Structure 1
Amino acid sequence: MPILTRLVPAPLTVDIRGGALEDLAAILEDRRISTSGRLAIVVSGGSGAKLRDRLAPGLPDAEWFTVAGGSLASAVDLADRMRAGSYDAVVGIGGGRVLDTTKYAAARVGLPVVAVATNLAHDGIASPVSILDNDAGRGSYGVPIPIALVVDLDLIRAAPQRYVRSGIGEALSNLSAVADWELSARETGEAFDGLAAAFARTAAESLLYRPDSVHDDAFLIALAEGLVLSGIAMSITGNTRPCSGACHEISHAIDLMHPARAGLHGEQVGLGGVFASHLRGDKDLTGRLVEVMDRHEIPYLPGQLGFTNDEFVSVLEYAPDTRPGRYTILEHLGLGREALVDAVADYVDTYSS
């Protein structure tokens, strides 16, 4: 009998610890990602400039590039600027916008990308997707996953804690996304990948019952590892399905309908995920999610993100239009406005403290 298997795309190395950034050159040389030190290093113009001053002496052969924002235009411009040089790899150091811009530009010039995350706000740190602003609003672009991921816990602790809490919301929303995927498999025959689902579900469950907090290194490591698992789950399927369901439809609708009032991505998908669990009638999971999110100070009610019940109902009405062809609990129930008004009122009444 033949032995059949498959290769799972994953980073060559994942280094999560305090002080990891100081060893960046050694990490890349040890893993043979760059033995010459010829690197294109991408940072933001704000905090990135301070990191450049700190790291440049230890990376004398690197060329530094500054990017502003996370737009498709800035990613294309970065790729064009990098074409003039010769590099072993591209290193992005920063938050989601810097890393998404770097991943897209590196793919455009055909170079491996190393992601150095300065916060844990969402699962883009190791995902095969770049989320970039474009003329139509915002788009998702497929890219290779990072060849290496470095998370320096000293940088994570120095970032606003709200970013860590956003990352928790992102990871927890995987439970809702996988439930939507299973629903679609039953109702529409959509292909379901159990391995990808296992990675995505594990990322969420690794945080669901932890008693520690964002102040503890062990918790930050678990969160970082969970976000990496989410990225690998998406790389297995080649799309965002393992980590994106009604939770993300709701977040996209908020971004499009209320761009000036939108919160952090992980906050929005966290709220979307727990509300979707309520719609499914999963009281045990919904209650547990509310308990965890409340303990970590993550918004789980529309009012905590600054939206009235009526505004949130309008978001829910529009949400399915943000991802045509994706089947979630929202499409399955097909609730009209009156039914959504009742569902939101019941949710808020049930879980308001």
Structure 2
Amino acid sequence: MPLLARTVTTPLAIDIRRGAVADLGKMLADRRISAGGDVAIVVGPGQGERVAELLRPSLDRADVFTVSGGSVEAALDLGEKIRAGSYDAVVGIGGGKTIDTAKYAATRYALPMVSVATSLAHDGIASPVAALDHDGGKGSYGVHIPIAVVVDLDFVVAGPRRQTRAGIGDALSNLSAVADWELANRFRQEPLDGLALTLARTSAEALLHHPGRIGRGAEDNTQDDFLRVLAEALVLGGLAMSVCGSSRPSSGGCHEISHAIDHLYPHTAAHGEQVGLGALFCTYLRVSRGLEDVGRFTQLSDALSRHGLPRVPTDLGLSVTQFAEAVLHAPGTRPDRYTILEHVGFTADEALATVKEYVDAVGD
């Protein structure tokens, strides 16, 4: 009999709402992840520690490990500590660095990992990738997708708004990433994965057209609805990567530019802020060459502006010349990936002139 469908690996549970953390112990038991609560809870500085304290009454058999830094070294050290115990699962609580550290350590010792996000800064909360620092910079490592994902909106609302804005930029950048993927299919015959593409694009579209904003509408729950859509977009972006076994649906020229900024000008801005700007610039390039409709550029620019995200280099604290240098450096960060940046193939003078034209276009 022919194979008529494929098996897709997804989390057993996805819980996005206020108060979700309070039911974590019950979810672990109901989903048969850990009936007795014998789990390793991994927290970072900040809200993760607060969540761990809230969980102690219901998970009194759990051991708590504190990590910081989001590095390969920290993940390996955590793995050794987990290995010394006997746990049903690893529960990572906190922001992206903490969750990525827990994902890497859990994968190394073949333990299921539960992602409990206290912020919505990027799509790592549900992705099969861990972004960790190492001696030579930052690397992306393949890991198992979380067996369950919990997002408690109470903690998201209480956290820094800049982290949530960064998550918006990361989710919206999927629109540019899938456009680059389709470009690679058109000019290089790179295979497309329709399911992964659909997950990444439709979730980003929902966020693009949502009228809500951070901190607006708390009295009538419209803020919660917006944050739920954002969380779902980040989760689906992670699942899209899992479906196709690659970061392709969520990482195009937008991410290449961000990686270049990280290398040339470290600690410039949050990942989501950089990829949001990178996505708008790459969209401008496709539009200017007749490869994408100008309406997409307008929609994305308006959305970034509405949420207070960077649209021009000076919004990141970079000069036009510095951003042009990042554009030139960007293709070298992912030599195996074909995006609009590789398609254009800038010289130094062309990159600088195009960035200046782009800044003028955003200002129009």
> If the length of structure 2 is used for normalisation, what is the TM-score?
0.95
SS of 2:56's partner is helix
| Partner of residue 302 from structure 1, selected from 305, 313, 335 | 313
* Structure 1: distance between partners of 2:153 and 2:46: 20
| TM-superposition CA deviations, 1:168-187 (whole Å, max 9, x none) | 11111111101111111121
Q: Is 1:250 aligned to 2:257, yes or no?
A: yes
* Structure 1: distance between partners of 2:86 and 2:3: 41
Instruction: Name the counterpart of 2:189.
Output: 189
SS of 1:91's partner is strand
Q: Is 1:317 aligned to 2:339, yes or no?
A: no
SS of 1:78's partner is helix
| TM-superposition CA deviations, 1:30-64 (whole Å, max 9, x none) | 11111011010000144333333232122110011
What aligned pairs does 1:195-210 form with structure 2 within 5 A after superposition? 195-210=195-210
More displaced 10-residue stretch of structure 1: 206-215 or 9-18: 206-215
Instruction: Name the counterpart of 1:270.
Output: 276
* Structure 2: distance between partners of 1:189 and 1:209: 31
The size of the alignment, in residue pairs, is: 352
CA contact (8 A) 2:127 2:238 kept: yes
More displaced 10-residue stretch of structure 1: 336-345 or 1-10: 1-10
Q: Is 1:95 aligned to 2:95, yes or no?
A: yes
SS of 1:327's partner is coil
SS of 1:58's partner is coil
SS of 1:57's partner is coil
* Structure 2: distance between partners of 1:54 and 1:210: 33
Moved over 6 A (4+): none
* Structure 1: distance between partners of 2:200 and 2:233: 8
Q: Is 1:347 aligned to 2:358, yes or no?
A: yes
* Structure 2: distance between partners of 1:259 and 1:144: 28
Amino acid at match of 2:283: S
Amino acid at match of 1:98: T
What aligned pairs does 1:16-27 form with structure 2 within 5 A after superposition? 16-27=16-27
Amino acid at match of 2:345: G
CA contact (8 A) 2:171 2:237 kept: yes
Q: Is 1:230 aligned to 2:241, yes or no?
A: no
* Structure 2: distance between partners of 1:48 and 1:229: 23
SS of 1:280's partner is helix
SS of 2:57's partner is helix
CA contact (8 A) 2:166 2:270 kept: yes
Instruction: Name the counterpart of 1:335.
Output: 346
CA contact (8 A) 2:48 2:118 kept: no
Instruction: Name the counterpart of 2:28.
Output: 28
| TM-superposition CA deviations, 1:182-228 (whole Å, max 9, x none) | 11112112121111100010121011111122230000000101111
Q: Is 1:240 aligned to 2:247, yes or no?
A: yes
Instruction: Name the counterpart of 1:135.
Output: 135
SS of 2:353's partner is helix
> If the length of structure 1 is used for normalisation, what is the TM-score?
0.97
What aligned pairs does 1:47-126 form with structure 2 within 5 A after superposition? 47-126=47-126
CA contact (8 A) 2:258 2:271 kept: yes
Amino acid at match of 2:150: V
Instruction: Name the counterpart of 1:6.
Output: 6
Kindly state the Cα deviation for residue 3 of structure 1 after the two structures are TM-superposed: 5.5
Q: Is 1:280 aligned to 2:280, yes or no?
A: no
* Structure 2: distance between partners of 1:174 and 1:127: 14
SS of 2:311's partner is coil
Aligned-pair Cα RMSD in Å: 1.2
* Structure 2: distance between partners of 1:152 and 1:287: 33
Kindly state the Cα deviation for residue 317 of structure 1 after the two structures are TM-superposed: 0.6
| TM-superposition CA deviations, 1:244-272 (whole Å, max 9, x none) | 00000000001011114x21111100000
SS of 2:10's partner is coil
Instruction: Name the counterpart of 1:150.
Output: 150
SS of 1:226's partner is helix
* Structure 2: distance between partners of 1:304 and 1:243: 23
Kindly state the Cα deviation for residue 136 of structure 1 after the two structures are TM-superposed: 1.5
